[in-house]
Amino acid sequence: MLSVRNLVKRFKTEANQPAGGIFGADIEVKPGEIFTLLGPSGCGKTTTLRCVAGLERPESGAISLDGEVVFDSARGCVVPMYDRDIAMVFQSYAIWPHMTVFENAAYPLRFSRAKRVGGAEVDKRVTAILEAVGLAGYRNRSATQLSGGQQQRLALARALVRRPKLLLLDEPLSNLDAQLREQMRGELKRIQAESGVTTLYVTHDQGEAMAMSNRLAVLNQGRIVQTGAPDEIYDTPNCEFVANFIGRTNLLRGEVEEAVAAGGCGAVKSQIGRIICRFAASAVAGETVSFVIRPENVEIQAPDASAINIVEGRVAARTYLGEAAEYTIDLDGRFNLLARAHPSLVLGQNERVRLRLPQERTIAVTSGGGADPDVR
């Protein structure tokens, strides 16, 4: 549905110094899916979204929507924003304060450049979309009388009522409090699934991206560093940046013992001993790599001291998290390893423990993060 090829848009300061942007982005979004651009502030995700929408003009690259080219620098093709079959929900919602809920939602139909919609059809479509977002009982209320969550749903209704090919969502939940944000994740996903609209979603919130997305791209300093399904990116990060940015993790560095192919298992000599890892990319003997393992994948009280990847230490701290207990294990001064277990497991302060790092869950990655050398 959406194809972005080698997209470049650079920003400069008044002193002509690099000030962010997007550099060589390639994105393919399938029909009906939620594809998320995830990364920290200033990584280029909103710039990419604005280029797709036509609000920014890229320096180079190509963008196609449902097979139709809307931008191509090589051919000099630039389809204006209002002629792209795209709807966008902004971070601030951009609700018209002087209009009712109904008129806000009806606005795209009343002023469509492509096709005017008759009054009866406007009423039918707006009534249906307000019902879908749970605002049917508010149709005659002033938009200023809505709560934050209701305004967010109204902005979504206004975007969907014209039935666009592509929906763009720019940090749509960031202005809501934590509890409402979680509730609205489910609402957004339900409405998107019912409408079937292909969605490009932008967020810096890792939990939101993992919960909402069919697939996602992680960005860092203007580059896409990894693309995949949420579980793939969480379980098999391809670099230190992705491992650290998404969820909590243990990260150590070491030296590769013997050459290993991508996807294979090999040994890394580290400060906590010889660890067998699964390699995200090929590596040569003597190369310095990082290896990561999530706290929930560390096995506590491993029964067999002769098994592979066994380390020992003492309990330095226990943190109760409700659904789990997180332990900080001091590996005799060499490293503090995080491990999670069911809260029913209670280990005492300074208690000695034996841990196992399952080799299939211990991932060796590169130290890079996709940063562009011209970006600050």
Which domains can be identified in the chain, with CATH numbers? 2-235 (3.40.50.300), 249-365 (2.40.50.140)
CA distance 331 to 314: 7
Spatial distance between the Cα atoms of 340 and 359, rounded to a whole number of angstroms: 17
pLDDT digits (tens, 9 = 90+) for 277-297: 999 999 999 999 999 999 999
The pairing of strands 34-38 and 198-203 is parallel
Judge whether 315 and 300 are in contact, CB under 8 Å.
Answer: no
Q: Give the separation between CA 87 and CA 165, rounded to whole angstroms.
A: 8
Residues 6+ apart with CB under 8 A from 292: 237, 240, 243, 249, 250, 251, 252, 362, 363, 365
Q: Which of 199, 173, 177, 196 is nearest to 185 (CA)?
A: 173
Residue-wise pLDDT tens digits, 162-174: 889 999 999 888 8
Please say whether the dihedral angle defined by the alpha carbons of residues 311, 317, 319 and 323, taken in this order, is positive or negative.
positive
Question: pLDDT by residue (tens digit) across 10-32?
Answer: 998 888 887 889 999 999 999 99
Q: Which of 240, 239, 246 is nearest to 213 (CA)?
A: 246
Report the relative pairing of strands 336-341 and 299-300 from DSSP bridges: unpaired
> What pLDDT, on the 0 to 100 scale, is given for residue 374?
39
Enter the pTM of the model.
0.88
How large a percentage of the chain has pLDDT more than 70?
Answer: 97
Mark residue 258 as left, alpha or beta (left: phi above 0; alpha: psi -120 to 50; beta: remaining): beta
Let me know: does 222 contact 21? Beta carbons within 8 Å.
Answer: yes
Average pLDDT for residues 316-334, to the nearest whole number?
A: 95
Q: From CA 142, how far away is CA 322, in angstroms rounded?
A: 41
Give the mean pLDDT of the chain.
Answer: 91
CA separation for the pair 295, 119 (Å, rounded): 58
3-state secondary structure of 332: coil
Confidence of residue 369 (pLDDT cuts 50, 70, 90): low
Q: Tell me the C-alpha to C-alpha distance, in Å, between residue 258 and each of 20, 310, 363.
A: 39, 20, 16
